[in-house]
Chain A
Amino acid sequence: DIQLTQSPSFLSASIGDRVTITCRASQGINSYLAWYQQKPGKAPKVLIYTASTLQSGVPSRFSGSGSGTEFTLTITSLQPEDFATYYCQQLNSVPITFGQGTRLEIK
């Protein structure tokens, strides 16, 4: 199985900050990585797919990059609604796997 390791697990930041979350895969997954945002009591929402493609309707302050085994999600100019938990997911092969999550909180 492909393991995904996110870092950091917890991030404290302020409105207007730029933050970066990293996801490392235990083996190459091409660019078949997606990023999700999840708020308490809600289903995950896809932000980025195929590593760098912005999902329709997602603000352009979200961006993704990477290929192979190392990927990043960057949020520029944090907004109040961005404070949530973020997960990476690989769909290169089954079993599909997720990172353990990064909880982004307001400083």
Chain B
Amino acid sequence: EVQLVESGGGLVQPGGSLRLSCAASGFTFSDYYMDWVRQTPGKGLEWVARVRNKGNGYTTAYAASVKGRFTISRDDPKNSLYLQMSSLKTEDTAVYFCARDGGSYRHDYWGQGTLVTVSS
């Protein structure tokens, strides 16, 4: 059974840093592109970042709103995805989901989400 489990969310002050993790199981993690998607309370979904697989050079892409502040990475032997967030702003407050790009242009599995609150 495919599972994605996020952790690392919490309360952080503006300007602070936080590292989110996503533990993957039930599939060959190294084969897939992985993404972070966030959802602000009561609002819609916003794609945050992507890391491609080894075959595609582990290249990354970011939303303009987080570029230069967030870093996505992966550790294939540990079946883990990460999001290092720095210079956090109040508008980064959201539930952060990790999601698998299952091929055929879709996110076919999602984690349960982890809440990040940026507030003083």
Q: What's the nearest-Cβ distance from chain B to residue A2, in Å?
A: 11
| Interface: B108 (CB within 8 A) | yes
Interface string of A81-107 (1 = CB under 8 A from B): 000000101011011111111000000
- A49 CA to B61 CA in the complex, in Å? 22
- Inside 8 A of A53's CB, which chain B residues have their CB? 104
- Inside 8 A of A95's CB, which chain B residues have their CB? 47, 61-64
Most buried by A among B46, B105, B111, B113: B105
Whether B107 lies near A50 (C-beta < 8 A) is no
- A92 CA to B50 CA in the complex, in Å? 14
Q: How large is the interface on A (under 10, 10 to 19, 20 to 34, 35 or more residues)?
A: 20 to 34
- Inside 8 A of A96's CB, which chain B residues have their CB? 35, 47, 50
Q: What's the nearest-Cβ distance from chain B to residue A37, in Å?
A: 12
Whether A44 lies near B107 (C-beta < 8 A) is yes
Closest to A33 in B: B105
- 8 Å CB contact of A43 from B35, B104, B106, B113: B113
- Inside 8 A of A34's CB, which chain B residues have their CB? 105-107
- A99 CA to B113 CA in the complex, in Å? 20
- Inside 8 A of A50's CB, which chain B residues have their CB? 104-106
- A80 CA to B105 CA in the complex, in Å? 29
- Inside 8 A of B112's CB, which chain A residues have their CB? 42-43
| Interface: A46 (CB within 8 A) | yes
Task: Give me the interface of A with B, judged by CB distance under 8 Å.
Answer: 1, 32-34, 36, 38, 42-46, 49-50, 53, 55, 87, 89, 91-92, 94-101
Q: List 5 A-B contacts (CB under 8 A).
A: A33-B105, A43-B99, A50-B105, A92-B105, A95-B61
